[in-house]
Amino acid sequence: MTDASLMNPMFPGILGETIHETEEMQMITFKGAPLTLRGTPLKAGDPMPPFTLTDASLAEVRDTDLTGVRVFLTVPSLDTGVCDQEVRRFNEKAAELPGVTIVAVSLDLPFAQSRWCGGSGVEAVRTLSDYKDRSFGLATGTFIEELALLARAVFIVDRDGKVVYAEVVPEVADHPDYEAVFAKLRELV
């Protein structure tokens, strides 16, 4: 695959680079249309890779800043119906998961994430943005090439930094397997 086949005029610095040998191309769909995921797909047993995100105050949050059992939800945008429902559901479940940090990651600007949380009453899920360099999306294999958004996925990371659950939802408009996620979390708390 050549550099030219990966060019996106909106993000030439992100999508114009050469695919590394470790990167595997995965496909998902959005309303049936095929889409390409960029980055290295995570699977159970992998160490959580390094990343840098941005919080509501525009401060950087690195992978090393988050410890303990963590749930990472990647969503295309908090302002869409399925994403809204998903994050609200995890927010409601958070009280049953002591010691678990739940993080929703999207490419929404931090200001939009804060506005959404305030308007939605979401307080138990931390929102972080991958808008600056897409490091989380590329590190987890959830960056959608054609849309420059993140795919819907759930990753559970244990106290030792190992991924113990990984689900990339094959159809962006579908929900993750909540029962499987919550069952795995009950094993860890």
Is 117 part of the annotated catalytic residue set? Answer: no
β-strands 100-106, 69-74 pairing = parallel
Sign for the pseudo-dihedral over CA of 80, 123, 114, 49: negative
Annotated active-site residue in 37, 53, 75, 83: 83
**Residue ranges of E strands in 31-170:** 33-38, 52-54, 60-62, 69-74, 100-106, 125-129, 143-144, 149-150, 153-157, 163-168
Closest to 104 in 3D by CA, of 40, 123, 95, 22: 123
H/E/C letters for each residue in 24-58? CCEEEEECCEEEEEECCCCCCCCECCCCEEECCCC
To which H or E segment does residue 118 belong?
helix 110-120
First vs last C-alpha separation in the chain: 44
Annotated catalytic sites, by residue?
83
